[in-house]
């Protein structure tokens, strides 16, 4: 059941992101938008490089190779989802409207859904995830 829910979260993220792109509500020439989006891309690349050659799964599926707790994962548990949410939020704020906020919210809802599903599945596979999660925030240090 968790894997099916995680797939819905993934589809929500992709749907919101692609729709924002198609409606031209994702990018801006403003440095106030470009800066967080560049930071988001850098965070995503750092996380992906740290994660290594492990494959990506559309369905939340813990990968072999142990729990990754270094690189950006030392500071936040979900740096890739954080990066996607930061990127989309900057675009939504730049093109502030009901539809932009709705689509940005869809991406956030999908990311949160994926996070909660992945956490349950990873905890089942890697018992050491509990102490790691207890000391490492999900997305925003000192807040969440």
Please say whether the dihedral angle defined by the alpha carbons of residues 63, 69, 71 and 72, taken in this order, is positive or negative. positive
Q: Looking at residue 55, what is its pLDDT?
A: 67
Q: pLDDT per residue over 117-126, tens digit each?
A: 999 999 999 9
* pLDDT confidence of residue 90: 98
Do residues 80 and 44 make contact, with C-beta atoms less than 8 angstroms apart?
yes
Quote the pTM value.
0.93
Measured between alpha carbons, how far is 43 from 83 in angstroms, rounded to an integer? 6
* pLDDT recorded at residue 98: 97
């Amino acid at each position: 059941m968790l894997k099916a829910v995680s797939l819905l979260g993934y589809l929500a993220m992709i749907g919101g992101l692609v729709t924002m792109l198609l409606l031209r509500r994702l990018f801006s020439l403003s440095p106030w938008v470009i800066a967080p989006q560049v930071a988001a891309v850098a965070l995503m690349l750092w996380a992906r490089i740290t994660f290594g050659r492990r494959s990506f799964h559309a369905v939340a599926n813990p990968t072999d190779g142990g729990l990754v707790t270094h690189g950006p994962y030392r500071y936040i548990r979900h740096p890739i989802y954080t990066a996607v949410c930061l990127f989309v939020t900057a675009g939504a704020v730049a093109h502030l409207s009901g539809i932009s906020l709705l689509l940005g919210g869809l991406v956030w809802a999908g990311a949160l859904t994926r996070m909660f599903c992945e956490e349950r599945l990873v905890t089942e596979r890697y018992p050491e995830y509990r102490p790691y999660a207890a000391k490492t925030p999900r997305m925003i240090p000192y807040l969440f």
